[in-house]
Amino acid sequence: MSDNILDIQRLSVAYQSPYGLVRAVDDVSISILKGEVLGLVGESGSGKSTLGLAILRLVPPPGRIVKGSIFYNGVDLLRVDDETIQKIRGREISMVFQDPSSSLNPLMKIKDHFIELFRTHEPNISDKDVEERSIEILKRLGIPSERFNDYPHQLSGGMKQRVYIGLAIALNPKILIADEPTTALDVLIEAQILRLLNRLKRELNLTMILITHNMGVVAENADRIAVMYAGKLVEAASKEEIFAEPLHPYTQGLFESAPNFLRRVRNIASIPGEPPDLINPPSGCLFNPRCPKRFDKCLKEHPPLIDVGGRIVACYLYGG
């Protein structure tokens, strides 16, 4: 399908731990449409960050991509050589990481972050060009150009996050993966950052994967929603469809337990029970121990993702 900018097929990623293999992403297939904002939601530990990192082949050891394909422009990112994936990172596909320690270097001025970034990708770029392009980006982000000479600690949390987002979009990527871009911020700043991301998306024609715990954030910002549970994709559909009628009992649980999600409930509210142990997962559907609608078949095998009128869901209630 030519409207897909990214095609993830049967992706599995695992971390080796002393207790066994943690199946963090298990046989996930999903396509990202050009120009959309895909909201990726799920409880903590469901594999959202691991999926984002796998797209750029940045899963840290002891993690490993076990199988699958990720097609971008007809090329399987999991099979290109290191040099090619390095060129794609930042320039074609860029990521705002969840881990704040990987954001700004406290010893480098804001300016130097931009210089380093541009130089890495365009070794011959002149100082003047770096300055012009960086200031243009800062302007876009609503940061006064004097801030260019500041160190990160001189900026507020919200401004730091803007700079960090600026670095992620500086090379004009086609796809931005934003992993919990607002969790560390207070609600007002969060709203500003989300507005900024929305504006950048429109102005730069970005496709975005927005990873979040916050149902309010997807309600306001996503076009389509993908729900992960215990490393599995359990449902994906347009925001309107999911909100009107969540199909998967897990998604239904998310909404029932967060009736106020449109009024900015911060986090996914808890559903009774615990997510499963990913080293020794339960047999059958991974959600069955917590599922109010389970029946015999659910105890045997995890359901495949099936198409239900253009939406996808992995649940035997709908076939499979």
Ligand X SMILES: Nc1ncnc2c1ncn2[C@@H]1O[C@H](COP(=O)(O)OP(=O)(O)OP(=O)(O)O)[C@@H](O)[C@H]1O
Locus of tokens 């999911």: 242
User: Which of 45, 281, 289, 320: binder of ligand X (CB under 6 A)?
Assistant: 45
Binding letters toward ligand X, positions 161-200, x by CB under 6 A: ----------------------------------------
Binding letters toward ligand X, positions 81-100, x by CB under 6 A: -----------------x--
In the complex with ligand X, which residue's Cβ is closer, 117 or 177? 177
214 binds Mg ion (CB under 5 A): no
103 binds Mg ion (CB under 5 A): no
Q: Which stretch binds ligand X (CB under 6 A): 37-45, 82-90, 105-113, 199-207?
A: 37-45
- 162, 201, 309, 289: which is closest to 247 by C-alpha? 309
50 binds ligand X (CB under 6 A): yes
> Smallest gap, in angstroms, from Cβ of residue 32 to ligand X?
17
**Partner whose binding site includes residue 42, from Mg ion, ligand X, none (CB under 5 to 8 Å by kind):** ligand X
47 binds ligand X (CB under 6 A): yes
24 binds ligand X (CB under 6 A): yes
48 binds ligand X (CB under 6 A): yes
270 binds ligand X (CB under 6 A): no
Q: Which stretch binds Mg ion (CB under 5 A): 93-101, 136-144, 145-153, 158-166?
A: 93-101
User: Which of 39, 42, 152, 276: binder of ligand X (CB under 6 A)?
Assistant: 42
49 binds ligand X (CB under 6 A): yes
Q: In whole angstroms, give the CA distance from residue 271 to residue 3.
A: 35
Q: Which stretch binds ligand X (CB under 6 A): 40-48, 126-134, 145-153, 165-173?
A: 40-48
Q: Which residues bind Mg ion (CB under 5 A)?
A: 49, 98
